[in-house]
Amino acid sequence: EEFKKGHVENSLNVPFLFFTPQGKEKNTKFVEQVALHYYKEDNIIVGCLSGVRSELASADLIAAGFKNVKNMEGGYTAWVENGLVVNKPQANDEL
């Protein structure tokens, strides 16, 4: 749901964690889903709202053999605070 509220332009949403009524659950297919879109040699920047989950996700990708992974420190919040381009839903877009 965070992604739908706004995200970095041209980004791809592959959840590392799912938010459930029972709490947060790790996406056990995260690395597999990323591998559908990127080669292990590609440059990948991983982000989330604050940079904490993306740091964990980055570590999993590196452990899986992805070579050029960077965490977006401060996450989407820092991106917005620095006035960088974002995609946000329009008034008539579904949420």
The burial of 47, by beta-carbon neighbours within 10 Å (0-12 exposed, 13-18 middle, 19 or more buried), is given as buried
What residue type is 8 in one-letter code? Answer: V
Spatial CA neighbour of 94 closest among 13, 2, 4: 4
The residues assigned a catalytic role are 48
In the block, residue with structure tokens 């980004």: 11
Coil, strand or helix at 43: strand
